[in-house]
Amino acid sequence: MRVWMRILVLTVGTRGDVQPYVALAVGLKKAGHEVQICTCQIFEEFIRSHGIDYAPLNNDIRDFMESEDGRVAMETTTNLFQAVRVGVRLMPKLTGMMHRQVSEMWAAADAFQPDLILFHKKAIGAEDFAERLGCRCALAFYLPLYVPTGESPAFGFPRLPLGRWYNLATYRVIEFITRRSGGRFVGKWRRSQGMSKKRPPYFQHADGSPVAALHAYSPSVIPRPSDWPDHAMVTGYWFLDGATEFTPDPRLLYFLQQGPPPIYVGFGSIFGRDPRATAERVIEAVRLSGQRAILAPGWGGMDLREFDFPETMLSIDAVPHDWLFPQVSAVVHHGGCGTTAAGLRAGRRTIICPFFGDQPFWGRVVHELGVGPKPIPQRRLTPERLAKAISETIDDCEMESRAEQLGKQIRSESGVQNAVRFIDGRNV
């Protein structure tokens, strides 16, 4: 007999750290579960608009990203080791923020009393909350970072020809960093709850059973390793489609009708140090390439205000990617998982200009799949480099064909439904 559950989703970060979980929550709710998402308050309206219950969390992380320290960190953190170094340097400023996050997420969990907690790994304390409440928890993430495999190293590590021992060792490093960094914030909370200082082993429940892991990306993009345990699954992407409810601006429709498909350029919610300079470089690159272009400022990636655009370029507000991307010739973006997924599903060639975090990883994946050129890091982004990448990408018919084939494969997958079936099958 099927058992309905109260499911709490804990996540924190940018729009890309929230939207896939809203898609999953909608699928879980349709399957009959009661679902609540706890994340930054800036996303409350977005979450509730999809009929999902919301629990509040402060906007500290978002505010930090918009600060000078946050902007510098995002433009200088391009691999795991830089991330650790930046984290250590900024720890005095992050400590209070992380303690507040743990406290507020616990308040949400305690009030909701879930049967299952699904968590993004930045939601520090999720496993400990499950231990305290006596419920289950499961990782819900979009990177191959925490479940060891001998077939490839963990995200953020160089791929060296050293075999299984090296690949497996990289996950032990991730385990050490994760446990060490999270423990300092959770320890105080555990003491306040009268819990043992000793936490359960890495990715295990207090009873010794494994913590399941759902990976929200396509197996056509990153195949599931053959040596993963049964409790680790690659579900496919969790898409939240909005095209059916979207009414486009007449200016956008007119622009699309006035010539060949344009390219799309947008850097999402990433706050670089100088969004105005980024916009200037992009506009000049598009001019040099001779392409038509739709430019999206996002939530801070480019400052497109007060530019006098030629008739070959159009600046737009937010438009659902599932509506727009099928109508463009290629997409240029920062390499966030969600935007990368949307471009690949549309079958479009992809040029990634990463800032930090997982973005360089997705840039490499896209290039190795043969559906985009080598990524151009933001710190090396010049009009000439970007214009060359655009021209070479548009002229590459084989790349176009590969992108179309990959798009067909991704569109045939049902990531949310696969995840719901995995959860309903009590694999968590």
Residue 306, pLDDT score: 80
> Do 162 and 303 reside in the same domain of the chain?
no
Residue 56's pLDDT is: 94
Q: How many CA atoms lie within 13 A of 167 on its CB side?
A: 15
Half-sphere exposure of 392 (CA within 13 A, CB side): 12
- 25 near 423, Cβ under 8 Å? no
Alpha-carbon torsion, ordered 361, 404, 314, 374, to 10 deg: 30
* Residue 333 located in a structural domain: yes
Position 75 scores a pLDDT of 55
Tokens 């497996």 appear where? 168
User: So what's the pLDDT on residue 373?
Assistant: 97
Each residue of 206-262: pLDDT tens digit?
999 999 999 999 999 999 999 999 999 999 999 998 756 788 899 999 999 999 999
A 10 A CB-CB count for 340 gives 28
428 in Cβ contact with 422 (< 8 Å): yes
Residue type, 411: R
pLDDT digit string, tens, across residues 301-320:
677 888 888 999 999 988 88
Regarding whether 418 and 407 lie in a shared domain, the answer is no
Same domain, 362 and 262: yes
- Of the pLDDT bands very low, low, confident and very high (cuts 50, 70, 90), residue 79 is low
Quick one: 112 and 56 in the same domain? yes
pLDDT at 276: 86
Whether residue 308 sits in one domain with residue 199: no
| Residue 410 phi, psi dihedral angles, 5° rounding | -65, -40
Calculate the alpha carbon distances from 398 to 54, 258, 260, 289, 390 in Å: 45, 26, 19, 20, 15
Average pLDDT for 407-414: 96
Clarify whether residues 269 and 123 are in a common domain.
no
**Which pair of structure tokens corresponds to residue 244?**
């059916």
For residue 350, is it within any domain? Answer: yes
Residue 224 to residues 128, 293, 345: CA-CA distances in angstroms? 28, 36, 19
This prediction's pTM: 0.90
Tokens, residue 50: 């999809």
Residues 231 and 254 in one domain: no
Read off the pLDDT of each residue in 75-89 and give the average, rounded to a whole number.
56
Q: What is the pLDDT of residues 329-375, one digit of tens each?
A: 999 999 999 999 999 999 999 999 998 888 999 999 999 999 999 99
Q: Answer whether residue 52 is part of any domain.
A: yes
Could you tell me if residue 1 is inside a domain?
no
Q: Regarding predicted confidence, which is higher, 178 or 286?
A: 286
Whole-number mean pLDDT of the chain? 89
CA–CA gap between residue 9 and residue 40 (Å, rounded): 12
Asked if 172 and 302 sit in the same domain, the reply is no
Quote the number of domains for the chain. Answer: 2
- For the domain that residue 310 is a member of, what is the CATH number? 3.40.50.2000
Which range marks the domain in which residue 193 is found? 6-237+414-424
* One domain, residues 84 and 222: yes
> Taking 50 as the threshold, does the pLDDT of residue 156 lie above it?
yes
Residues 178, 262 within the same domain: no
Residues 233 and 248 in one domain: no
Please indicate, yes or no, whether residues 254 and 212 belong to a single structural domain of this protein.
no
Residue range 22-31: mean pLDDT, rounded: 96
Location of structure tokens 């001019």:
287
